[in-house]
Amino acid sequence: MNTELRERAILPVVIPLAAILFTEVIVFSFSRVLLATGHMVAVGVALGQALVILVGATALASARRVSTAAIATALALFAIVSIGAGVAAYQRGPVYSKEEAANTPKVTVSAKNVAFDTKTLKLSANGTDIAFSNQDNQPHNIAIFPSATALQTVLFRGDITQPGTTSTYKVGKLKPGTYYFHCDVHPQQMTGTVTVS
Ligand SMILES: [Cu+2]
């Protein structure tokens, strides 16, 4: 009676539940690892993980006889490594929130009566978020060039911001130095100097 109950009722429930739980724990751990690594590193880690699964599964499938103990050991090893890496990654925290919250300086620029509110734009060499507020009745943007005479080299070009709206321009890294900016819609009237430090 006990054996029958075990085989008919408990095992068909317990095994899938355990498999789902196992998968969830591994996936969650692995996602922490990807979040804690940088953009390019995460791709490498994911490819490495896929390779490990592929090679491991191939080895298991092509082996003549595989004992339950061997499979259990392989799964346990995989779980320990994955969860261990996940815990370490969780303690480190995601890389993106750190980068964005801590480091990117913000500046505010507005446009009104076909003029910027400033003639000089001070940006950080590590990148700057510009909150561009268009308080005019016509569209404007901010585009950055090496100089007033080198307009074919675009260092940054913000999307056109419509009247009465604000855009966040995420300017990437720039070498320290002096540059030129203008509005693409009004390149004669709306110009200024960028200093990057
Ligand atoms: Cu303009």
Q: Which of 181, 123, 164 is CA-nearest to residue 189?
A: 181
Q: Using a CB cutoff of 5 Å, list residues around ligand 1, an ion.
A: 140, 183, 185-186, 190
CATH tag, 104-196: 2.60.40.420
Domain ranges of the chain: 2-99, 104-196
Eight-state DSSP code of residue 152: T
* Residues in the chain where the model's pLDDT stays below 70: 1-2, 96-102
Tell me the pTM.
0.52
Q: How far apart are CA 137 and CA 64, in angstroms?
A: 77
Q: How far apart are CA 98 and CA 81, in angstroms?
A: 25
- State the pLDDT at residue 196: 97
Ligand 1 centroid–CA 162 distance in Å is 10
Ligand 1 centroid–CA 136 distance in Å is 9
Bridge partners (DSSP) of residue 59 are none
Q: What is the pLDDT of residues 48-101, one digit of tens each?
A: 989 988 998 898 888 888 888 888 888 888 889 989 988 888 888 887 665 555
Residue 129 tokens read as: 């978020």
